[in-house]
Structure formats: structure tokens, C-alpha cells
Amino acid sequence: MDIVDKQTRSRMMAAIKGKDTRPELVLRRAMHARGFRFRLHSGNMIGRPDLVFPKYRAVVFVHGCFWHRHEGCRYATMPLTRPEFWQAKFESNIARDKAVRLTLLKEGWRVATVWECTLQKSDQVYAAADRLSAWLRSNDKMFETG
């Protein structure tokens, strides 16, 4: 049983943002400070990556641990209400993420995933940005924090 009424829950869920989230903003700030320039939410690319680095032919997804099911993360909890709905929702998110990643790799893009939990504190942001910077300058196809 939900602790709030249906209208309140609907309003709360509608307020969840899909772009310009706090983790995304702190990572963008850190990467910009390191001299990297990028495009945001490129609409002409599958999956609308959060950051696109055309110079490095690389894209970065900043994933929320809850919605994208960061394995082993304390933020990837399962809601107690309507477990069948949530399980199907999470499975479709994971399948979509995998399909997007494979498509981008086939198109010659390098793909990075930065998890929300690795951007909680400023020292974690600096460490994640340093690792992402090193990956951008490398030739590795994939990168993931956390």
C-alpha cells in the first residue's frame, strides 16, 4: 500500500527529471574545468547521451542507480508496492540501455557510463572526472564508474 494518494504520487513521479540532473551537472562542471568541450543530449543520436565528445568520438551516460539498476548499489532498491510493474520497468530500462550501448559501439562511438552514486561527494566527482578524462584520451571502447 502506498503512503500517499494517487494524485500526489503522480505529481511526485512527474517531477523526476530526465536531464540536467544534479549528478549530470556536477560531472559537466568537472569535465569543463578540465578543458573538455561537449554537446548535451544530442537528439540525433540513439539514446540521447548526456554528454557527447565529438573530438574523441565518445558519449557519456550519467545513469541514476535506481532507474538503471546499478548492480550492488544501495540506491538500487526495489519499491514495495506493485513489484511486478517495477520489475518489468527495470528490465525494460536495462534492455534499452544495452541495446543503445551496442548500437553506438557498432556506429563507431565509444561509450561511458557514470553512475550517480560515484558523484555524491566532491572528492568522488574529481576522481570520476579524472578517470573519465583518462578514458577519453585512451583508445578504450567502454568505460564505467562504480
Give mean pLDDT, residues 44-49. Answer: 94
Report the SS3 class of residue 30.
Answer: helix
- The conformation of residue 79, written as its DSSP 8-state character, comes to -
Give mean pLDDT, residues 64-79. Answer: 92
Give mean pLDDT, residues 110-139. Answer: 96
CA distance linking residue 111 with residue 117, whole number of Å: 19
What does the pLDDT read at residue 1? Answer: 63
Provide CB contacts within 8 A for 111, sequence distance 6+.
58, 59, 61, 101, 104, 105, 141, 142, 143
Quick check: 113 pLDDT over 90? yes
Predicted model pTM = 0.87
What does the pLDDT read at residue 89? Answer: 95
Alpha helices in the chain (DSSP H): 6-14, 22-33, 65-68, 83-106, 122-137
Q: Mean pLDDT: which of 16-20, 83-87, 98-102, 139-143 is highest? A: 98-102
Quick check: 2 pLDDT over 80? no
What is the pairing mode between strands 142-144 and 110-115?
Answer: parallel
Domain 16-86+110-144: state its class.
alpha beta
Q: What is the dihedral of CA 53, 115, 31, 139, to 10 degrees?
A: -50
Average pLDDT, the chain: 92
